[in-house]
Amino acid sequence: MSKHGRILVAMSGGIDSSLAAVMLHEQGYEVIGMTMKTWDYASSGGSKKETGCCSLDSINDARSIAVELGFPHYILDIREEFGDYVIDHFTGEYLEGRTPNPCVLCNTHIKWDALLKRADRLDCESIATGHYANMQFNDGRHYVSKGIDSWKDQSYVLWGVSQESLSRTKLPLGYLHKSEIREMARERGFIDLVNKAESYEICFVPDNDYRGFLKRRIPGLEAQVAGGNFVYEDGTVVGKHEGYPFYTVGQRKGLGIALGRPVFVTEVRKDTNEVVLGDLPDLFRDGMYVSKLNWQKYDGITKPLETVTKVRYKHDGTPALLIPDEPGKIKVHFHDGVNGIAPGQAAVFYEGDDVVGGGWIMKNFRQDKELF
């Protein structure tokens, strides 16, 4: 009989999830490891060698840790549900002129649900992952807070996890720095984990060529969208582009146009197949609408709330006022302009280190030219 009960640990084969399993095992939990296979690299058609969390090497690395420590390890094939939901959403968002975040979607709608279903079948009270974040419980609410390692903090990607799922989740790495995890692995003799390169690509676009992925995924797309105009905000046409789905807000490189100075994508217009270009100051917006909300620290808001809001993973966050709008949507007024607010990305709202909630960015605007 274990000291703390049975727990299902998501193991990608990397150092973080492996050490999460090791720590829980050492603390006296009855650990069961599970590696999720979300994608076949051969299906992507890309040029890069198979690496990352779905590769055979990563599955074997996770299994070897389990074998060495003497706990069970299983492989969970979720390719069908992953493809139907995450990849269809990924392609659909680009076709709508937005910039998707498939890793957030996968965490919140696929991996947690899949883990909890299998946890129930295996009589596991809890699940655990190797995310750098912390779990909190106050006033009847479960919520995520930032990990102590500010560089590795992953609270941003967990905003969409439900109350029920959070209530059964443990995040053992939240109070540790990455350097401490590496040292713990080294002390235990897991040198291969210490030396293993980390993967930051989208698992189903291992070569980081999302344009190529879209072209392979949607036959005939290039012909359908080619020939649109690059324009300035005032409507001046300055060139032709390959098609609006192949550009994202904030993009500077790979535009295929030379205007004598650095320019950035400031807007993608699906309906007219236009890509708007501008200088760096033209990227700044001080407002946005956010929908499909998930509240963590509070059960929603009924009056304006001051927060620090992040609009992408590595964004430090900007002070912003959340203003209730129609059901399922809020308006966000930033106190300073924010660079590159991309529709389709996640917005996450913080009070101090605590995740208040988050949602998907619908549209950005300038407060002096509010759109709705």
**What are the mean pLDDT values of the chain's consecutive 10-residue runs (372 residues total)?**
84 94 96 89 53 71 93 92 86 95 85 93 96 97 97 96 96 97 96 84 82 92 95 95 96 92 96 96 95 97 97 94 94 95 97 98 88 50
Residue 15 CA to residue 33 CA, distance in Å, equals 14
What residues contact 195, with CB distance under 8 A and at least 6 apart? none
Instruction: Please name which of 190, 129, 121 lies closest in space to residue 161, comparing C-alpha atoms.
Output: 129
In the CATH scheme, what is the code of domain 6-130+172-195?
A: 3.40.50.620
Q: Which pLDDT value is given to residue 53?
A: 56
Q: What is the pLDDT of residue 206?
A: 78
| pLDDT for residue 41 | 60
Residue ranges per domain, the chain? 6-130+172-195, 226-278, 283-369
What's the length of the chain? 372
Which residues make beta-bridge pairs with 315?
Answer: none
Region 226-278: CATH code: 2.30.30
**DSSP-derived secondary structure letter, 224:** H
Report the pLDDT value the prediction gives residue 97, as an integer from 0 to 100.
96
Binding residues: 10-17, 36, 130
**Going edge to edge, which strands form the sheet with 73-77?**
73-77, 30-37, 6-10, 126-128, 169-170
Fold of 283-369: Elongation Factor Tu (Ef-tu); domain 3 (2.40.30)
CA distance 109 to 75: 19
Q: Which residues of 246-280 are buried (b: 16+ CB within 10 A; e: fewer)?
A: bbbbbbeeebeeeeeeebbbbbbeeeebbbbbbee
- The confidence score (pLDDT) of residue 330 equals 97
Where in the sequence numbering do the catalytic residues fall? 106, 203
Q: Which residues fall in the annotated binding site for ATP?
A: 10-17, 36, 130
Would you state the pLDDT for residue 43?
58
| Exposure letters 282-295 (e unless 16+ CB within 10 A, then b) | bbbbbbbbbbebbb
Q: What is the pLDDT of residue 175?
A: 97
Rounded Cα–Cα distance for residues 326 and 348 (Å): 19
For residue 198, the model assigns a pLDDT of 78
